[in-house]
Amino acid sequence: MTDRWEAAAEAQIRTAQERGEFDNLPGMGKPLTGRNTPYDESWWIKSFLEREALPADLLLPTPLQLRRRIERIPDEVRDLPTEQAVRAYVGDLNAQVLAWLRNPTGPQIVVRPANADEVIRQWRAARDRPQAETDPAPQPRRSRRSWVRPWRRRH
């Protein structure tokens, strides 16, 4: 039975080749990507993330994703126009944290909700700070001589 299926498939392939259906396909004549690289179990996932321009954070378990989002709160709320918008952002994130805490999945990692009042305090401080203070001043270049070992400085 299997031989008949294989023969039928081979016949269809041969007929399609004769009609030219495989001519001028994208990538024709080009080497296969990753052919000479060591085997990687997650090659498909990595190529999918790269092809779709998705962040690699999507592969992290939920508690780590939440912790990363909490760490990035100051950057995320920096350009929000009002205190209510900042509170809404923190409230939404805290709701996600609480939902995970009620029904944890994945590794048991400590995740605490963000303190909305502290985030608001930091947001206000960042808005009140002049732009010149937020941009670090360029550091003066140190002379190359400063790293020379002391015993080499003697003449």
Cα 3 → chain centroid = 48
10 Å Cβ neighbour count for 119? 21
What domain count does the chain have? 1
Q: For the chain, how big is the Rg over CA atoms in Å?
A: 29
pLDDT at 73: 95
In this structure, what DSSP letter does residue 106 have? S
Is 118 in contact with 73 (CB distance < 8 Å)? Answer: no
pLDDT at 77: 94
pLDDT at 150: 47
Is 32 contained in some domain? Answer: no
pLDDT at 10: 92
Reading the block at residue 47, the tokens are 């190529």
Is 79 contained in some domain? Answer: yes
Tell me if residue 118 falls in helix, strand or coil.
Answer: helix
Reading the block at residue 116, the tokens are 């909305």
Pick out the chain residues at pLDDT < 50.
Answer: 143-153, 155
Is 4 contained in some domain? Answer: no
pLDDT at 140: 57
Is 67 contained in some domain? Answer: yes
Is 20 contained in some domain? Answer: no
pLDDT at 3: 80
Is 40 contained in some domain? Answer: no
Residues 6+ apart with CB under 8 A from 22: 16
Could you tell me which of 65, 66, 120, 56 has the C-alpha nearest to residue 88?
A: 120
Is 84 contained in some domain? Answer: yes
Is 147 contained in some domain? Answer: no
pLDDT at 1: 63
pLDDT tens-digit map of 8-26: 999 999 999 999 988 888 8
pLDDT at 146: 46
Q: Which domain holds residue 118?
A: 60-133
Q: Is 96 exposed, middle or buried (0-12, 13-18, 19+ CB in 10 A)?
A: middle
